[in-house]
Amino acid sequence: MSISLSDLLVLGQGKDLTSERGVSCSGELPAASDPTLIDRAIAARTALGDRALILGHHYQRDEVIKFADITGDSFKLAQAAAEQSSAEFIFFCGVHFMAESADILTSAKQRVILPDLAAGCSMADMATANQVNECWNELEKIGVASRTTPVTYMNSSAAIKSFTGEHGGTICTSSNAQKSLEWAFSKSEKVLFLPDQHLGRNTAVLALGLSLDDCILWNPWKPMGGLTEDQIRGAKMILWRGHCSVHGRFTRESIQEVRTRIPGVQVIVHPECQHEVVADADVVGSTEKIIQVVSQSAPGSKWAVGTELNLVSRLASQNPDKEVVFLDKTVCYCSTMNRIDLPHLVWSMESILAGHIVNQIKVDSRIAQYSKVALEQMLAL
């Protein structure tokens, strides 16, 4: 199927949009091999004009980032969506929980589109609302819930963010986790940290000075998290048994191997990595910090980067005066983040122009209410 720019401009003036999820203009997704795909993307983006905002997470493919109006990490993009109140359609090129956050923070007039509904997050899926509520009920039974504040990582579903807001907690990102935990400990004895055990452990031990013994791991698949009452009462950090499938693959052996292979290399990793990896790294930081540190480093410097491969490859190409390599010898993309590709973006834009709203992400009003409470608490910090 081929749509000219003039055709798209006519379609773009249409106001009577339906909500036919999953229906494309042609009835099928454009082929990745379509030689007109880039032209179609340019035409559709031009036709949408100021009505649209395309947000691209740092882990997206280059073919998608090329069309992003704003790039950033999950919270930066959600904030950008909220600030661009004139954009009628927000195409969120990321994963499901990010699009949910954007919907929570934007106005009722705006519609958030996730080009591929299969773009989820394995970490976010590791904590369901039922599991977290069961955990909280157990904490209430043994009398520690009232002395516990939930802190939830941005990489979580809206339902978990809502739980956090309803129970007086806050949301955190990898860059403000320390500040969020300091706030939580100022009002309670314990923290229930969801859903990434590694970010919680690394922040508690390396930033706040707690010991590994102060941290316990709640396994939602075992009765009472696989813990005893004494363990729960004695702990300061109750960590959820969740992790990032990409960052969790890096090991201490990865660091040793790259330091042997590339003399003088500096290792920079994301705090979602395992504790021993973060402890052995030269620099630890959020996605934004990794980009900043590598980009501002001296010419000729060498970096082994422990984060998602799309970003590492982009950093290498953008910094030709430095040696930038992936920390692990085995190449690994984020399989869910990588689902958003140019065919899905083109399909979703062309569908909107044809009068079909596809893949709109809409959070339940009650869940959105308490999620916003938690997000606003983070902003207040």
Query: Which domains are assigned to the chain?
Result: 5-119+338-363 (3.40.50.10800), 124-243 (3.40.50.10800), 247-326 (3.40.50.10800)
Counting every residue written for the chain, the total comes to 381
Q: Which of 156, 154, 152 is nearest to 170 (CA)?
A: 152
Answer for the pair 232, 141: CB distance below 8 angstroms, yes or no: no
Q: Which of 241, 257, 11, 230 is nearest to 128 (CA)?
A: 241
Q: What stretches of 287-341 show up as alpha helix (H) in DSSP?
A: 287-296, 309-318
HSE toward the beta carbon, residue 121, CA cutoff 13 A:
25
Predicted confidence at residue 5, as pLDDT, reads 37
Chain segment 116-173, per-residue pLDDT in tens: 999 988 899 999 999 999 999 999 999 999 999 999 999 999 999 999 999 999 999 9
Q: Which of 56, 26, 38, 27 is nearest to 340 (CA)?
A: 56
Contacts of 374 (CB under 8 A, 6+ apart): 152, 161, 162, 164, 165, 169, 170, 171
Chain segment 198-246, per-residue pLDDT in tens: 999 999 999 999 999 999 999 999 999 999 999 999 999 999 999 988 8
Scan for tokens 């990032």, then name that residue: 244
115 CA to centre of own chain = 16
Q: Find the angle CA(174)-CA(126)-CA(244) to the nearest 5 degrees.
A: 40
Mean per-residue pLDDT, 332-360: 88
Q: Which of 106, 90, 104, 27 is nearest to 56 (CA)?
A: 90
The torsion of the CA quartet 136, 138, 140, 146, rounded to 10 degrees, works out to -50
Answer for the pair 239, 193: CB distance below 8 angstroms, yes or no: yes
Mean per-residue pLDDT, 348-352: 95
Chain segment 23-47, per-residue pLDDT in tens: 444 457 888 888 999 999 999 999 9
Mean per-residue pLDDT, 360-378: 93
Distance between CA atoms of 328 and 312, rounded to whole angstroms?
Answer: 11
Answer for the pair 204, 210: CB distance below 8 angstroms, yes or no: yes
Distance between CA atoms of 196 and 5, rounded to whole angstroms?
Answer: 45
Predicted confidence at residue 332, as pLDDT, reads 65
Give 331's pLDDT tier (boundaries 50, 70, 90): low
Q: Which helix (H) or strand (E) holds 31?
A: none
Instruction: List the structure tokens of 173.
Output: 């990102």
Contacts of 342 (CB under 8 A, 6+ apart): 32, 37, 38, 41, 61, 63, 64, 67
Predicted confidence at residue 147, as pLDDT, reads 97
Q: Which of 307, 303, 143, 292 is nearest to 232 (CA)?
A: 143
How does the average pLDDT of the chain come out, rounded?
Answer: 90
Give 85's pLDDT tier (boundaries 50, 70, 90): confident
Scan for tokens 């950093």, then name that residue: 315
Give 11's pLDDT tier (boundaries 50, 70, 90): very low
Predicted confidence at residue 16, as pLDDT, reads 34
First to last CA, the chain: 50
Q: How many CB atoms lie within 10 A of CB 88?
A: 16
Chain segment 188-198, per-residue pLDDT in tens: 999 999 999 99
